[in-house]
Structure 1
Amino acid sequence: MLGRGVEVKTPEQIEAMRVAGLLTCRTLELLRAAVRPGVTTAELDALAEAHIRDHGGVPSFLGYGTPPFPGSICASVDDVVVHGVPGPLALAEGDVVSIDCGAIVDGWHGDAAITVPVGAVPEKVTRMIAVAEDAMWAGIAAAHVGGRVSDISRAVEGCVRAAGEYGILRHFTGHGIGTAMHQAPDVPNYGGSVRTRLRPGLALAVEPMITLGSSEWLVDDDEWTIRTDDGSWSAHVEHTFALTERGLWVLTAEDGGRTRLGAAYGGPNV
């Protein structure tokens, strides 16, 4: 552990995190395929929990925090940005659902999120999802050994701002990850305030949360569900990546990030 609780992993520990990352990735792809009109968020949650446990993992989210989170995924529909609690809500044609998932394998965490349209959605919603994904990858690509977390934050914000008028939630951030799901340092989606130095063995989750309107938010009575204060729709995407001596390795992407990162990719068998 470095100062301020920053956890630096050995190459072997990063390999172990890759196992949790792939389980998280494959669970999300299973859920992506299951999204359709009529399916409930509780059904998606049950599918996720079964898949994680059947493959030797434990859901990271179930029982997390205070009050204990009641689901194995966060399922955030339309104006819900993050931390949506799974339940009887049935998805409808034209909705958009953000699914956040975490898995623990042998004490190591993976954490990732996708935003999925339910059938046909307006072009502006499709565009918002693409902007969030582009911003996430821009943030990851900005990370390099010797740089700072602030490089990631500026890249995320710069990508979003260049794409149009979107709200960026400021209170909710990415984070360090490893033997716990949430560790230091925070990884904001704006500005350059976190100056933690990037070094090999550091694993981070980058997760832009953007809206079609306001960046202000409200919390529901369940003390978890975060929604926009103006009812505007939102997108949330996330990947866990590690810095290695060879470059960047996206632990929750099937290809390790090779396609999107190009020369910056630093996973095994480069």
Structure 2
Amino acid sequence: MIELKTPAEIERMHVTGRFVAEVLSEVGTLADVGVNLMDLEHHVRGMIERRGAESCYWDYAPSFGKGPFRNVICLAVNDAVLHGLPHDYTLRDGDVLTADLAVKIDGWAADSARTVIVGTPAEEDLRIIRATEEALEAAIEAARPGNRLGDISAAIWAVARDHGYPVNTEFGGHGIGRTMHEELHIPNKGKAGRGLKLQPGLTVALEPWFARTTDRIVFDDDGWTIRSADGSRAAHSEHTVAITDGDPLVLTRREHESAAGRLPAKNSCDVE
């Protein structure tokens, strides 16, 4: 059942969203050559504990996963893009790191992801990250009352086509609120004018992700980490968004992030 949120409930989600944004900003700053993924995992655990938040990932056990997820953040490197299980890996110059975080505060969830480059950026990596950010902003712009879910999917797909990236539809956006995953699947490819009509109070996590040369995926032996099937590098951008009577409200917007989704901070995709 789809649950529309009141303005007061959306504000409570916004509190959570601001914290998620703060954590992802810090992860992006800390991600550097020589840093181990488990160092980032433990740093985020500390931030969650100090805030009194609750990880949405710890003990998460969906049908596609291999046992309960026993970490608080997803960290995926290079050709890995979704559900990256933190492990003993030391970041190298030029690595592409995707960090995905969902937590609850006082019973309300928010979910966001960003991809950053560690050290020296390659133009091809900058391009795919920027494409996911552009697609996310296009999806947000389509998240208006009177539009339909298909308008969001079509907006993401249009950006992918413009950049020449194939689109996987197995994993995409979703409803969010009292839990990380509520009713609604929002594929990253679709036709405008189709699907559920959007209403004020609907809260969704929009998350375009692309791999350079394939729409097929494979799972690591850990049963969680999803990679591009051909080993091509990938990127992922995500925000939690509330549909209002006016403009869409991005609940996980990071400080200093522009309307194009980009951050000027070190290790962001804007490194020249």
TM-score normalised by L of structure 1: 0.91
1:98-137 correspondence runs (5 A): 98-137=98-137
The two structures, once aligned, show a CA RMSD in angstroms of 1.7
Within 1, Cα distance between the matches of 2:154 and 2:242?
19
1:9 and 2:5 correspond: yes
Query: Paired residue for 1:43?
Result: 39
Within 2, Cα distance between the matches of 1:142 and 1:210?
19
Report how many residues are paired. 256
**Relative contact order (C-alpha < 8 Å, sep 6+): which is higher?**
2
Within 2, Cα distance between the matches of 1:187 and 1:127?
24
1:42 CA displacement: 1.0
Within 2, Cα distance between the matches of 1:185 and 1:202?
10
- AA partner of residue 168 (structure 2): L
Question: Residues 129 and 259 of structure 1: is their aligned pair in 2 closer, same or farther, counting only changes over 3 Å?
Answer: closer
Q: Is the contact between residue 133 and residue 260 of structure 2 (CA under 8 Å) also seen in structure 1?
A: no
Query: Paired residue for 1:266?
Result: none
Within 1, Cα distance between the matches of 2:230 and 2:162?
23
* Residues 61-83 of structure 1, C-alpha deviations (whole Å, 9 max, x = no match): 11111511121110010011211
Within 1, Cα distance between the matches of 2:142 and 2:256?
16
SS of match in other structure, 2:248: strand
Query: Paired residue for 1:63?
Result: 59
Q: Is the contact between residue 218 and residue 228 of structure 1 (CA under 8 Å) also seen in structure 2?
A: yes
Q: 1:29 aligns with which of 25, 29, 50?
A: 25
Q: Is the contact between residue 54 and residue 103 of structure 2 (CA under 8 Å) also seen in structure 1?
A: yes
Within 2, Cα distance between the matches of 1:136 and 1:186?
16
Query: Paired residue for 2:270?
Result: none
TM-score normalised by L of structure 2: 0.90
Unaligned runs of 5+ in 1: 262-270
Q: Is the contact between residue 172 and residue 188 of structure 1 (CA under 8 Å) also seen in structure 2?
A: yes
Q: Is 214-223 or 188-197 further displaced after alignment? A: 188-197
Runs of 4+ in 1 over 2 A off after TM superposition: 254-261
Unaligned runs of 5+ in 2: 262-272
1:1-270 correspondence runs (5 A): 5-66=1-62, 67-163=67-163, 165-192=164-191, 195-254=195-254, 259-260=259-260
1:259 CA displacement: 3.7
